[in-house]
């Protein structure tokens, strides 16, 4: 059975976590992942606010007695209010993405809560570990949603070399099946954190047409853009970009992103119409290269079980094939 020290640290059977995708990694998704033996994460959101986070934590708790956590886009202005809810509700772990996690660590540890930090470079991993986080998530640029530019295959072992002796490292970005889990473990990760694969899970909280678009896509069908950050006036650090499925709007506005601010209301209205009309040529669909590994929407628990079974098979059979 696949087991790493991270499983003991988090109190879970399998080293699989769903990514804390804001507003769509619901309490229902987190509970399904935890119930299947993984570690479920809720994606805290600024638009839903603190009450949404509290509600989702309570939903998760009503569906599982296993550990789960909440993650945040910690560069957003509402972060303190959202973290307060997670502390108050005593979740098992809090993830911080896109901001220095240092100032959040003491209060979480005082409350007995583990702190994760998602990082995109070796320097950020070292900074996070120096501030006392319990787990580092090394996120490669293949990732869906917001992320950096360094590829998982080289970033991950570099982060493991830099901080892995002190802090467990989880791999993220481009992992969508058992082969990815097996490879990440061989590169020194103690677990995997997956977003795109769980977009196409029955418990994901977003629109069905977005799940279908991910299932229909290949690894060639994503691109990075700032178009949607401009439309929603969301401010991420400058080195962070947004990986989405390619579409007409992204192509039309490429190089003209700075024009969006002046007509933000019109672009937002266009998004509302496109989402209602299930128009994937205009609506923003966050997804990474792992979209090429996804061809159907499945229950989240089934995804966890399939990935574990496939990784176990790969780890048993490939070495024998390769080494004779």
The contact set with ligand FMN (CB under 6 A) reads: 19-22, 24, 43, 71, 73, 97, 118, 139, 142-147, 172-175, 193-197, 199, 286-288, 290
Report which residue's Cβ sits closest to ligand FMN.
195
Residue 104: φ, ψ to 5°: -95, -15
In the chain, % helix, strand, coil (3-state, to 5) comes to 45, 15, 35
Q: Residue 262 contacts by C-beta under 8 Å, 6 or more apart in sequence?
A: none
Smallest distance from the beta carbon of 324 to ligand FMN, in angstroms? 33
Smallest distance from the beta carbon of 89 to ligand FMN, in angstroms? 18
Cβ proximity to ligand FMN, 2 vs 172, nearer residue: 172
Smallest distance from the beta carbon of 171 to ligand FMN, in angstroms? 9
Cβ proximity to ligand FMN, 157 vs 255, nearer residue: 157
Distance CA 93, CA 169 (A): 15
Cβ proximity to ligand FMN, 265 vs 300, nearer residue: 300
Smallest distance from the beta carbon of 233 to ligand FMN, in angstroms? 16
Q: Residue 268 contacts by C-beta under 8 Å, 6 or more apart in sequence?
A: 231, 232
Pairing of strands 241-245, 145-147: antiparallel
Whether residue 175 contacts residue 148, with contact meaning beta carbons closer than 8 Å, is answered with no
Cβ proximity to ligand FMN, 159 vs 287, nearer residue: 287
Cβ proximity to ligand FMN, 266 vs 278, nearer residue: 278
Smallest distance from the beta carbon of 284 to ligand FMN, in angstroms? 10
Smallest distance from the beta carbon of 88 to ligand FMN, in angstroms? 21
Cβ proximity to ligand FMN, 83 vs 118, nearer residue: 118
Please list, residue by residue across 112-150, b when 16 or more beta carbons sit within 10 angstroms of its beta carbon and e when fewer do. Answer: ebbbbbbbbbbebbbbbbebebbbbbbbbbbbbbbbbeb
Whether residue 29 contacts residue 2, with contact meaning beta carbons closer than 8 Å, is answered with no
Smallest distance from the beta carbon of 177 to ligand FMN, in angstroms? 11
Write out the DSSP string of 153-203. Answer: HHHHHHHHHHHTTTS-EEEESS--SHHHHHHHHHTT-SEEEESHHHHTBTT
Cβ proximity to ligand FMN, 20 vs 167, nearer residue: 20
């Amino acid at each position: 059975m696949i087991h790493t020290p991270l499983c003991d640290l988090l109190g879970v059977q399998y080293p699989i976590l769903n990514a804390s995708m804001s507003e769509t990694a619901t309490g229902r998704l987190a509970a399904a992942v935890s119930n299947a033996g993984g570690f479920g994460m809720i994606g805290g959101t600024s638009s839903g606010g603190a009450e949404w986070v509290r509600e989702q934590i309570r939903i998760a708790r009503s569906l599982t007695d296993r550990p789960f956590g909440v993650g945040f886009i910690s560069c957003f202005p509402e972060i303190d209010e959202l973290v307060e809810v997670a502390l108050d509700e005593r979740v098992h772990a809090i993830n911080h993405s896109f901001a220095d996690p240092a100032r959040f660590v003491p209060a979480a540890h005082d409350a007995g809560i583990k702190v994760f930090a998602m990082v995109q470079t070796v320097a950020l991993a070292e900074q996070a570990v120096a501030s006392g986080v319990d787990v580092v998530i090394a996120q490669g640029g293949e990732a869906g949603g917001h992320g950096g530019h360094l590829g998982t295959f080289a970033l991950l072992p570099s982060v493991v070399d830099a901080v892995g002796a002190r802090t467990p490292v989880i791999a993220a970005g481009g992992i969508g099946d058992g082969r990815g889990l097996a490879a990440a473990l061989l590169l020194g990760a103690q677990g995997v954190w997956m977003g795109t694969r769980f977009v196409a899970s029955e418990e994901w909280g977003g629109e069905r047409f977005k799940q279908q678009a991910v299932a229909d896509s290949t690894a060639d069908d994503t691109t990075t853009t700032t178009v949607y950050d401009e439309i929603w006036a969301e401010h991420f650090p400058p080195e962070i970009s947004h990986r989405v499925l390619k579409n007409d709007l992204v192509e039309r506005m490429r190089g003209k992103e700075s024009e969006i601010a002046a007509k933000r209301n019109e672009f937002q209205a266009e998004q509302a119409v496109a989402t209602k009309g299930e128009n994937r040529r205009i609506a923003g669909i966050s997804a990474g290269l792992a979209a090429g590994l996804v061809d159907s929407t499945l229950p989240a628990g089934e995804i966890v079980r399939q990935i574990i079974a496939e990784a176990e098979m790969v780890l048993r059979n490939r070495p024998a094939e390769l080494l004779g």
